[in-house]
Amino acid sequence: MKEKEAYRELRLELLEKAKGKWVAIFEGRMVVQGDDFGEVVKRAFEVTGGKVFYVTKVGEEQKVERRIYRNR
């Protein structure tokens, strides 16, 4: 939930820079953006070392929100 809240704080800025893009939020900042959900998730796992992050499509949050968890 911490990353989702961080997204809400970043949303206006992201609407200007990344509207329509998938973004991954980790530790209060956007760490990955792109056009393909799967690629964003893959890259976010690499960046975060497999920790929990938040993924959504900027401007379409109500339709596509995702929480990514990795079982260890």
Instruction: For residue 70, name the pLDDT band (cuts at 50, 70, 90).
Output: low
Residue 67: its pLDDT value, please? Answer: 57
Residue 62: its pLDDT value, please? Answer: 73
Residue 1: its pLDDT value, please? Answer: 81
List the domain range (segments joined by +) for residue 30.
Answer: 2-68
Task: Give the number of domains in the chain.
Answer: 1
Q: Whole-model pTM?
A: 0.82
- CB contact set of 55 (below 8 Å; sequence gap of 6+): 22, 23, 24, 25, 37, 40, 41, 44, 66, 67, 68
Per-residue pLDDT tens for 2-61? 998 999 999 999 999 999 999 999 999 999 999 999 999 999 999 999 898 999 999 988
Backbone phi, psi, residue 31, to 5°:
-105, -20
